[in-house]
Structure 1
Amino acid sequence: MNVTDFEVKAPGGGTARLADHAGKVLLVVNVASKCGFTPQYAGLEALHRRFADQGFAVLGFPCNQFAGQEPGDAQEIATFCTTSYDVTFPVFAKIDVNGPGADPLYAHLKASAPGMLGTRSIKWNFTKFLIDRSGRVVRRYAPTVKPEAIARDIEALL
């Protein structure tokens, strides 16, 4: 399987097909509106706008598993993203990234690109996964890695 084989929860209910992003380089990120890393939304949006015309997209997945840092519902999250950071990249429905209820996409991402010392769990919000045009996970980035630091890796895949 590759990333574009998955269906994910749409913010308004139902599902969205990641196949709609087939052939693009993707940066998949678990996001939150009340996290110390939340200002990374600005950098993620800058990457999205900078490379979108070359076949790149950021995909955001809100998660409330880390200290309750994403308490809002789909509408509150959407409003926050657009009014606070002018986000234009897709932000999907809130999901779990760890534990027995982890979204299947995240189970795949974690298995494909384990973290430090081979750990599979996501340690915090704003963990990032870079996906190549064929849907393969290329690299995992810690939450502390700023989006602008990933630009060269994105360019290499474009």
Structure 2
Amino acid sequence: MTDEPRPPLPPFTREAAVEKVRLAEDGWNSRNAEKVALAYTVDSHWRNRAEFADGRDEIIAFLTRKWRRELDYRLIKELWAFDGNRIAVRFAYESHDDSGNWYRSYGNENWEFDANGLMRLRYACINDLPIEESERKFHWPLGRRPDDHPGLTDLGL
């Protein structure tokens, strides 16, 4: 079943919110759009920059396009605040385009979850900063960020 509970469940404690953020980071770093979409309700609503997505099919299409453009994508998320069934996150990711131009993208997300721990609302604001490859800070093999790799605060971001 695609709507099985996705612990941790709301209402969130600080520890549960931190865990939920890390699980989301891990999912996005997998760059597996179909798997990532299962963390969202069937009718989830997104605003990502100026693009809107409704439902898992649109989320899968969005993520597939995103990771086709944003190559060598590596993401770090950090808990900003939480209350009840809502979590606010700040994040940064690094990627390059097909011409080899590197970017660090900074943003904030507001999330709202249903009782099963599936995200039903996601609002993201993101800014892109062109960087030189030598300015990159996210150095790990593609996939999950290692536990010993610094987070945003530790990196001064």
TM-score scaled to structure 1, two decimals?
0.29
Q: Of the two structures, which has the highest relative contact order with CA contacts closer than 8 Å and spacing of 6 or more? A: 1
- Structure with the larger helix share: 1
TM-score, length-scaled by structure 2: 0.29
User: Greater strand percent: which structure?
Assistant: 2
Larger Rg: 2
